[in-house]
A and B are shown apart, each in its own frame.
Chain A
Amino acid sequence: MAMRKVAVVGAGMTKFMRRAQETGRELAFQASRMALDSCEMTLDDIDAVALGTAPDAFDGLHMKGEYLSDGAGAWHKPYMRCYVGGGTGVFAAIQGWYHVASGLFDTCLVVCEEKMSSCQPHPQGAFITIFDHTTERALKPNLVWIFALEMNRYMTVHGIEKKDIARVAVKNKRNALDHPCAQLAADITVEDVLNSEVLAWPVQRLDISPTSDGAVAIVMAAEHVAKRITDKPAWVRGVGWSLDTAYWTSRDLYYPKYVEYAARMAYDMAGITEPRKEIHVVEPYDPFDYKELHHLEGLLLADKGDAARLTAEGVTARDGNMPVCPSGGMLGVGNPIAAAGLMKVSEIFWQLRGEAGKRQVPGQPQTGLAQSWGDLMQVGCVVILGV
Chain B
Amino acid sequence: MSANIENFPGTPLSQADFDEGKILTTHWKPKLEYGWDAGVAISRYLAELKNGRLIGIKCNRCRRTVVPPRVVCEWCWEPMEAWVYLEDTGTVNTFSICYIRWDATRAKEPQIPAVIEIDGASRGAGILHLLDEVNADDVTIGMKVQAVWKPAEERSGSITDIKYFRPT
Interface residues of A (CB under 8 A from B): 10-11, 13-22, 27, 30-31, 34, 38, 60, 120-122, 124-125, 128, 131-136, 138-142, 144-145, 148-150, 152-153, 156, 180-181, 197-203, 213-214, 245, 247, 249-253, 346, 350, 353, 355-360
Contacts and interface: CB of A to CB of B under 8 A. Distances in A.
Interface pairs A-B: 7 shortest CB-CB: A357-B3, A148-B96, A15-B10, A14-B10, A30-B9, A153-B94, A200-B98
Interface string B105-148: 10000000111000000001111111000001000010000000
Interface of B: 1-6, 8-13, 23, 27-28, 30, 34, 36, 38-39, 42, 45-46, 66, 68, 70, 74, 93-105, 113-115, 124-130, 136, 141, 158-160
A134 B38 contact: yes
B67 to A, nearest CB: 8
Given A139-B160, A144-B100, A156-B94, A133 B36 contact: yes
9 contacts: A15-B8, A124-B104, A135-B159, A138-B160, A145-B128, A201-B96, A245-B74, A250-B125, A358-B3
A201 B97 CA distance: 5
A22 B96 contact: no
A123 B85 CA distance: 39
B160 A249 contact: no
B12 A247 contact: no
A387 to B, nearest CB: 14
B45 A141 contact: no
A19 B17 CA distance: 11
Given A153-B93, A200-B98, A355-B4, A139 B129 contact: yes
A17 B36 CA distance: 37
Contacts of A153: 93-94, 115, 141
B96 A30 contact: no
B114 A149 contact: yes
Contacts of B94: 149-150, 152-153, 156, 253
